[in-house]
Amino acid sequence: MLSYLANPLRFMRFSRLAVPICFALGIVMVGWSLYNGLLVVPPDERQGGDLMRAMFTHVPSAWLCMGLYAALAGASFVWYIWRHELADVAARAIAPIGAGYTALCFITGSIWGQKGWGAGWHNLILGDSRLMSVLVLFFLFLGYMALRAALETRQKAARAAAILAMVGIVNVPIIKVSVDMWQTTTIHQPSSVISIGSPEPREEGSGMNPIYLQQLLWGFGGHTLLAAAMVMMLMRSEVYTQQGDRLLARKLEGA
């Protein structure tokens, strides 16, 4: 599938249909998740009462910002090794979407933490391993976009940004293990769905009430589709821009 879409013409044909479908399905799934999360499921007093409802946006955005950075690093690697131009277009499109979801993760986490932790993320960021590693992820997205804008030629900008993206991928597993392996350096709750290297024994299963987990998965699926649609829209815009630039250059050469 990826090799099929690597051709720009095939990608443009595919994305023309995929974008509206992803948007429509994503809106329905996110809407269903929020409706049930905000109005149907009961509050959990251990998680901050009604403020825990922020998790139905916070958790999917946290998962997605890490996934988007992994996709950014993967696309950067493909461009860096094989100089595939569509991979660079994809990386450039992913960065602002990833930064937006990382910011959404911080905002919703701060709302949830006001009661669950007694303080918002903005008061805890510098002393907490999970929050600091997510902040680093946010700066990596911003740094990638800044490099793309700062350097004078597209090739130099793409090369420098690709190196940054590939080096920064080490931060993604750090974000994951920060609450499972370094519990003394964070007040963030341990992972409830997937736990890696946690020293504490856990009950069987995910550790989360299925009524909450179901809505989180609906929300994650919906946000993933929305992010995919936005990335494809930005990629289409970039492809059209490059085609217009080449057409203009040929006209100027012939003038």
Of the listed ranges 167-176, 183-192, 204-213, the least confidently predicted one is 183-192
Q: Is the pLDDT of residue 138 over 90?
A: yes
Average of pLDDT values for 136-140? 97
Better-scored residue on pLDDT, 198 or 35: 35
User: Tell me, what's the pLDDT at 232?
Assistant: 98
pLDDT digits (tens, 9 = 90+) for 225-253: 999 999 999 999 999 998 888 888 888 88
Within the chain, residue ranges assigned H as helices are 2-5, 8-35, 55-82, 85-116, 129-150, 154-168, 171-177, 210-254
Q: Is 178 exposed, middle or buried (0-12, 13-18, 19+ CB in 10 A)?
A: buried
Distance from C-alpha of 72 to C-alpha of 199, rounded to nearest angstrom: 32
User: The dihedral of CA 146, 75, 230, 152: what is its sign?
Assistant: positive
Q: What is the pTM of this model?
A: 0.89
Q: 159, 183, 118, 154: which is closest to 241 by C-alpha?
A: 154
Q: Is the pLDDT of residue 202 over 50?
A: no
Contacts of range 203-208, beta carbons closer than 8 Å, 24 or more positions apart: none
Residue holding tokens 């461009």?
79
Q: Is the pLDDT of residue 81 over 60?
A: yes
Average of pLDDT values for 15-41? 97
Average of pLDDT values for 157-171? 97
Structure tokens at 3: 């090799």
Q: Is the pLDDT of residue 206 over 50?
A: no
Average of pLDDT values for 2-19? 90
Q: Is the pLDDT of residue 174 over 70?
A: yes
Q: Is the pLDDT of residue 128 over 80?
A: no
Q: Say how many C-beta atoms besides its own lie within 10 A of residue 170's C-beta.
A: 9
Partners of residue 44 on adjacent β-strands: 49
Q: Is the pLDDT of residue 181 over 70?
A: no
The pLDDT confidence band at residue 196, using thresholds 50, 70 and 90, is very low
The pLDDT confidence band at residue 49, using thresholds 50, 70 and 90, is confident
User: Tell me, what's the pLDDT at 207?
Assistant: 62
Q: Say how many C-beta atoms besides its own lie within 10 A of residue 211's C-beta.
A: 13
Average of pLDDT values for 25-30? 98
Residue holding tokens 């995910």?
206
Average model confidence (pLDDT) across the chain:
86
Average of pLDDT values for 121-145? 81
